[in-house]
Structure 1
Amino acid sequence: MKRRTYVTLSILGLIAGSIGLYSEALVAPALAGHELMGREIAKGKALYDENCAACHGANLEGQKNWQTRDENGVAPAPPHDETGHTWHHDNQLLFDYTKLGGKLLLESRGIADFKSGMPGFQDVLSDEDIWDTLGYIRSTWPKRVQEVQDARNPPHE
C-alpha cells in the first residue's frame, strides 16, 4: 500500500511539474497564514491606484464588456469588485497572475497561445507590494464574498 501511494504521488508530482505548477523560480510561495489578511490596506490602495486603476477602474469596476474578447482575442480588464471573478480564485493564483501576467503564467502551466492584456508586475512591484494590493482589493468585498474566497485557499496552520 505504501509503495503504491508513493508511486502514485511520484507520478502526480511529475505531471504537475511538467505543466509548470511548481515553477518556483517564477513565483513566490504564499506567506504563512492567510496571505491577504493583516496587509497594509492604505499602501495597497495607493499601489492599486498607481498600477491597476487605469485598466481595472478607480472603483474596481473593470472595463466595459469585460467578458467579451476583442478582435485580437484579448478580454478587457475585469472588475475586481464583487461583480467580477477575482474572488473566484485562490490567493496564490491571484498573486502569480499579478506577478507574471496572464500570458507568462499560463505558459508556465503548459497553456500556449493564451492572449491576455494583463502585464506582469514582477519588475514593478515587490512580492509584498503585490500582496498588499491584493489585500486592498479583498478589503473592498462584502464579508460573504470574502468568506467564499477564503474557502478557495488551502488551510494554513
Structure 2
Amino acid sequence: MKKLALIIGMGAALAGAVYLAFGGTTAEVGRIMLQPTDGQTVALGQDVYATNCASCHGADLEGAPNWRSPDADGRMPAPPHDANGHTWHHDGDTLFRLTKYGVAAYIGDPDYASNMPIYDGLLLDAEIIAVISYIKSTWPQEIRDRHDEMENTQ
C-alpha cells in the first residue's frame, strides 16, 4: 500500500512539473508581463542580450544572414528580433518558454535540432523577461501596440 501511494505521489508530482514547465504559464512567474517602458528592466535586458544573445541574433537585433533558410547543418539561423523579424508575432509567454526551455520542448519534438541554447539554469526568469522587454522596447510604436493587443486577448 505504501509503495502504491509513493508511485501515485511521484506520478502526480511529475505531471505537475510537466504542466508547469510547458503549460500555459510558468511556475516561477505566472503569466509573463513584459515591461518595455521600465527603464531598469530594459537596461538589464539590453546588458543580458549583449552578453547572451547578440552573438547570434546581432548587436542590433538584425538576426543572422539568410535566417529564413536552413544552414549547411540543416538548422535555422537566428532570426531577427527587430521589426523585420517575427518575434513580435508571439506573445510574451511563448517567447519566455522558447527562451527558457528551448524550441524542441516548446514544439513537443525532442529530436528537433536547434542552435538556440536552453537558458533554463543559465539565466534567471527576471533576466529572460528583461531581454524580451528590451527587444519589445526597440519596436516601432505601431508594432508594440499590435503586440499589446495580442497580449490583451490572451
Looking at structure 1, the residues matched to 69 and 21 of structure 2 have their Cα atoms a distance apart, in angstroms, of 33
What code does the residue aligned with 1:72 have?
A: D
Deviations 1:9-47 (A, max 9, x none): xxxxxxxxx9xxx7304544324xx43345411111000
Which residue number in structure 2 is paired with residue 133 of structure 1? 131
What code does the residue aligned with 1:58 have?
A: A
Looking at structure 1, the residues matched to 56 and 93 of structure 2 have their Cα atoms a distance apart, in angstroms, of 22
**Aligned residues: percent identity?**
39
Task: Report how far residue 152 of structure 1 moved.
Answer: 1.9
What code does the residue aligned with 2:131 have?
A: T
Structure 1: stretches of 5+ with no match in the other structure:
1-17
Conservation of the 8 A alpha-carbon contact between 1:44 and 1:133: yes
Looking at structure 2, the residues matched to 100 and 30 of structure 1 have their Cα atoms a distance apart, in angstroms, of 16
Q: Which has the higher helix share?
A: 2
Which residue number in structure 1 is paired with residue 117 of structure 2? 119
Conservation of the 8 A alpha-carbon contact between 2:56 and 2:78: yes
Looking at structure 2, the residues matched to 141 and 42 of structure 1 have their Cα atoms a distance apart, in angstroms, of 15
What code does the residue aligned with 1:102 have?
A: V
Q: TM-score, normalised by structure 1?
A: 0.75
How many residue pairs get aligned? The number is 131
Which residue number in structure 2 is paired with residue 85 of structure 1? 86
Deviations 1:103-140 (A, max 9, x none): 22222xxx353232211111111111100111000000
2:49 is aligned with 1:48: yes
What code does the residue aligned with 1:49 have?
A: A
Looking at structure 2, the residues matched to 117 and 145 of structure 1 have their Cα atoms a distance apart, in angstroms, of 27
SS of the aligned residue for 2:150 comes to coil
Looking at structure 2, the residues matched to 94 and 75 of structure 1 have their Cα atoms a distance apart, in angstroms, of 17
Deviations 1:71-111 (A, max 9, x none): 3321100000000000010110000001011122222xxx3
Looking at structure 2, the residues matched to 113 and 71 of structure 1 have their Cα atoms a distance apart, in angstroms, of 18
Conservation of the 8 A alpha-carbon contact between 2:104 and 2:112: yes
Q: CA RMSD in A?
A: 2.1
Q: TM-score, normalised by structure 2?
A: 0.76
Conservation of the 8 A alpha-carbon contact between 1:102 and 1:119: no
